[in-house]
Amino acid sequence: MKKFTAITVAIIFALFSFISCEKGPLGAGAGAAQAEEMLRLLPQDVAAVFFIDVQRILTLEAVDKLVNKKMEDKEFEEFMDYQKFVDMTGIELKKDVYFVAAAMKEGEETEGEHEWAVGIVNLKYDKEALLSFIKAKTEETGSELTEEEYNGYTLYNYKEENEEGTFAFIDKSNIAAGNGSLVKSVIDVLQKKEESVLQSEKFSALFKDTNKNALFWGGVLIPPEATAALSEEIPMAYNLESVQAVSLSFDYKNRTIMAEIKLRSSDPVSNQEMADNLIGLKEMGSMITIQDFNFAEVLDRIEITSAPDHVRIYASYPDDFFNDFISKFTLKETEEEKEKK
């Protein structure tokens, strides 16, 4: 994993932390936006779309403990200057972030990029305080931050060694950031110069029966050449060639973790074959036992079914399930090892 330096981290962190409730182009203040309003600003020409309810995720007990533990880590504090960030901007991750809508597409090789991404974040922020912090970090680290005007909006382009990106304040409660071309596309969509992802027939069909009230949900369009290459590399995956898209959602309700994945295909025969193959793999995995743990405890909670237009994989687990899983899967000390201590 690449290790961003302080200025890059500060700008990326800015995507997840902001301070105003004034309405803007999305028609809703911080914390009041709807998924559809945010997705409406993502450009149509993308391959993947995701939506995250950040506040609900951060209020989960396990996530809250993880975030607290990470923020107390000395190395994290030194690397992020988190407390300095909070003091200078008034921004706190766990209470000021609300939603994130993101999209990805293949980049143009002529520009040296293989994958582009853009995100729109709905949160509370003080623009001047945030920019002041970022500019201070830019000077401190020797990074580059330049401004560019585009159709009435100011684009902030940052560059540091091999890392670069762009962000723009869309309104008082929303910011777009990521690849420069895609940030410009967001502005074009806002000004109705480019079509939105919600106008895409493929994504509309993909999200028709996706759980859009989940903590995290999204979908990916799969090009034929991708599945063809996979089936060539893994002969057993030959029937995946009919998969045209994948939708997924993860949710938490009534102390239960739920996950759903749908492999979208218009070939009923291939769908049944895919489901049968996955069920066979599940049954094989259920026979594996390590220490006190039998994988059947995990796999038996996974349901696999086929339909004329998709294969559905669904699983649900009580929230304490994975704690038990980890404790059972942890290798025990032998008596000899105990005596050596």
Mean pLDDT, rounded, for 201-225: 92
Q: For residue 143, which of 165, 125, 175, 124 has the smallest C-alpha distance? A: 165
- Cβ neighbors of 6 (< 8 A, separation 6 or more) are 79, 80, 81, 137, 140, 141
What are the pLDDT digits (tens) for 239-282?
A: 788 899 999 999 999 889 999 999 999 999 999 999 999 999 89
Residues 249, 261: Cα–Cα separation, whole Å: 7
Polymer length in residues for the chain = 341
What long-range pairs does 235-238 form, CB within 8 A, spacing at least 24? 236/277
Ordered by start, the domain boundaries in the chain are 6-198, 201-329
pTM value > 0.85: no
Question: What is the model's pLDDT at position 41?
Answer: 93
Question: What is the model's pLDDT at position 117?
Answer: 92
Residues 222, 219: Cα–Cα separation, whole Å: 10
What are the pLDDT digits (tens) for 305-335?
A: 999 999 999 999 998 776 666 666 555 544 4
Question: What is the model's pLDDT at position 340?
Answer: 55
- Sign of CA pseudo-dihedral 82, 84, 89, 91: positive
Question: What is the model's pLDDT at position 335?
Answer: 45
* pLDDT for residue 127 is more than 70: yes
Residue 335 has phi, psi (to 5 degrees) of -60, -35
Question: What is the model's pLDDT at position 181?
Answer: 94
290 CB burial (10 A radius; 0-12, 13-18, 19+)? exposed
Comparison of pLDDT for 53 and 8, the residue scoring more? 53
> Locate tokens 């940030």: which residue?
183
- Cβ neighbors of 17 (< 8 A, separation 6 or more) are 89, 91, 92, 93, 96, 97, 123, 125
Residues 283, 7: Cα–Cα separation, whole Å: 49
Question: What is the model's pLDDT at position 18?
Answer: 32
What are the pLDDT digits (tens) for 287-300?
A: 887 766 678 888 99
Q: Which of 31-35, 92-96, 209-213 has the highest mean pLDDT?
A: 209-213
> What is the average pLDDT score of the chain?
80
* pLDDT for residue 50 is more than 90: yes
Question: What is the model's pLDDT at position 73?
Answer: 67
pLDDT band at residue 31 using 50, 70 and 90 as cut-offs: low
% pLDDT > 70, the chain: 75
- Cβ neighbors of 202 (< 8 A, separation 6 or more) are 221, 245
* pLDDT for residue 150 is more than 80: yes
Comparison of pLDDT for 44 and 293, the residue scoring more? 44
- Cβ neighbors of 27 (< 8 A, separation 6 or more) are 37
- Beta pairing partners, 87: none
Residues 166, 159: Cα–Cα separation, whole Å: 9
- Pull the structure tokens for residue 64: 């809250």
Question: What is the model's pLDDT at position 152?
Answer: 96
Mean pLDDT, rounded, for 63-72: 70
Beta strands 48-53; 97-106: pairing state: antiparallel
Residues 310, 69: Cα–Cα separation, whole Å: 40
Question: What is the model's pLDDT at position 265?
Answer: 93
